[in-house]
Amino acid sequence: MFSLNVVSLSLCTFFVVAAANLGPAPVDLGSTASFAILAETGVSTVPQSSITGDVGLSPFSANNFTGFSLTLDSSGTFATSSQVTGQLLAASYTAPTPAMLSSATSDMQAAYNDASSRANPDFNDLGGGAIGGLVLAPGLYKWTSGVSVAPADVVTISGTSSDIFIFQIGGTLNFTSQSRVVLAGGALASNVIWAVAGVATVNSGAHVEGVILAQASVALLTGATMNGQILAQNFVALQSATLNGDSPPGTISSGPTPIALGTAANFTILAQSGVSTVPQSSITGDVGVSPIAATALTGFNLILDASGTFATSSQVTGQLFAASYTAPTPATLTVAVSDMQTAFTNANNAIPDFTEFAGGLIGGLVLTPGVYKWTTDVLINSEGVTITGTPLDTFIFQIAGTFNIAANASITLVGGALASNIIWAVASDVTANAMAHIEGIILAQTAVTLQTGATMNGRILSQTSVALQSATVVG
């Protein structure tokens, strides 16, 4: 009995220690919670912006909402706009709106004063204010002057859903064009506080997570996206930007419209002129060849099913299909091949965000969502490449030349990015050298070779042939 008590007491103590959140105490945002934007002197938009949540303005009047094409509700207490999912509330509207807004703005000022005055920072002037490329742990960070994230750089905020991050910024905050804030490990935008004394600017195409508590004004320029809140003691200006104020973080996607694979998505490997393996390879999912016959499935030791519509192999968890098998297999394959060709064309027609990025030498780089176009070969050297984004973000890589992944090199996904949202649209041959690792969908106009020990999460859809040399593909 006594020893049981001791055990449960020590387990309990351990649990409390393990559950404690890291970083400073949370900042109390009070009654600002429903506001995606709360400002004191004005909120403007260059249509169309998209704001999820409410927008509040006090003490200035509704005259200082610009670009929203407001429709005043018959109650007179709020207005609506096609750019805002919630309500727009101004100090000039009918009671109880003015009193509610003055208490929200007072809570916002108190939150800024608290966040910006916390003492004993864990980090002082980290990176001299240049935080692109850094991974930030929970804590209190203080910069005496400005902070910026360089163009296309990523700053990763890493922690659990209960960890707290407070960034005290004495000057301006500048997220430059195409830069990104990425949350990792379950960290929440609502636990990330950017307390900024100067102007905060989220430039074109940049993405931010967190709550911007600004003493001055905040601008989200064309195509900028943000999960979190903007609570500004001056003005907020949006230019065709997206602010997601009350949905869970990570619900806004960045990058191009996804490429539909149609029925080609039923295959882990689909090829027009053959699929070969040097045993033992391992394929999870189905394999198809068309218009070529089953004789072009080599190295599989096929066992034809009694139905005649498919075969099996010890190297494939699914089924193998060929144009020479019994109906309906040939017709199904014809449609799948046509869908694969359409997907290749659509992927190549996407408008590029980045052209000739790094001259095609992408080893050691971190790639953010978007469309990348190269008219040359692309090489991933032994340093590998990192692809960063949320589970909703999309990536298209248009490669006019060959695509070569060096021996032992890995494509690594971070931030929750998914192989199914990554398209490698390659006009010339694709070669994964020995022990290389690929993530994504390869849409190849010609041959794809996975050399000995190479592994892949995704699909290979080739308009010619696929050669596996004791390789692994998980569809």
Ligand X SMILES: *[C@@H]1O[C@H](CO)[C@@H](O)[C@H](O)[C@H]1NC(C)=O
DSSP for 176-224 reads: -TT-EEEEETT--GGGEEEEESS-EEE-TT-EEEEEEEESS-EEE-TT-
Nearer to ligand X, 190 or 410 (CB): 410
Among 172, 240, 282, 312, binds ligand X (CB under 6 A): 172
Is residue 405 within the footprint of ligand X (CB under 6 A)?
A: no
- Site map (CB under 6 A) of ligand X, residues 237-276, x = contact: -------------------------xx-xx----------
**Strand, coil or helix: 155:** strand
Does residue 435 touch ligand X according to CB under 6 A? yes
Of residues 331-390, which lie at the interface with ligand X (CB under 6 A)?
382
- Nearest approach, Cβ of residue 179 and ligand X (Å): 9
Three-state secondary structure readout of 28-62: CCHHHCCEEEEECCEEEEECCCEEECEEEECCCCH
Instruction: Say whether residue 298 binds ligand X (CB under 6 A).
Output: no
Compare residues 63 and 113 and give the one whose CB is closer to ligand X: 63
DSSP state of 410: B
User: Half-sphere exposure of 110 toward its Cβ, with a 13 Å CA cutoff?
Assistant: 12
Among 201, 272, 398, 465, binds ligand X (CB under 6 A): 201
Please state, in angstroms and rounded to a whole number, the distance separating the CA atoms of residues 238 and 183: 23
Cβ neighbour number for residue 238 with a 10 Å cutoff: 30
Q: Does 42 bind ligand X (CB under 6 A)?
A: yes
Q: Tell whether residue 174 is a contact of ligand X (CB under 6 A).
A: yes
Radius of gyration, alpha carbons of the chain? 27
Q: How far is CA 466 from the centre of its chain?
A: 30
Is the dihedral angle over the CA atoms 371, 375, 377, 381 positive or is it negative?
negative
Per rule CB under 6 A, is residue 63 in the interface with ligand X? yes
Query: Quick one: residue 102, left, alpha or beta (phi over 0 = left, psi -120 to 50 = alpha)?
Result: alpha
Residue among 96 and 328 whose Cβ is closer to ligand X: 328
Residue (169 or 265) nearer to ligand X, CB: 265
Residue closest to 379 by CA, chosen among 395, 393, 355, 358: 358
Q: Does 319 bind ligand X (CB under 6 A)?
A: no
Q: Which is nearer to ligand X, 191 or 332 (CB)?
A: 332
Write the binding mask 125 to 164 for ligand X: x where contact by CB under 6 A, - elsewhere.
-----------------------x----------------
Nearer to ligand X, 138 or 384 (CB): 384
Check if the beta carbon of residue 428 is closer than 8 Å to that of residue 442.
no
Shortest reach from residue 265's CB to ligand X, in Å: 6
The residues of the shown chain that bind ligand X, judged by CB under 6 A, are 41-42, 60, 63-64, 148, 172, 174, 176, 201, 235, 262-263, 265-266, 382, 407-408, 435
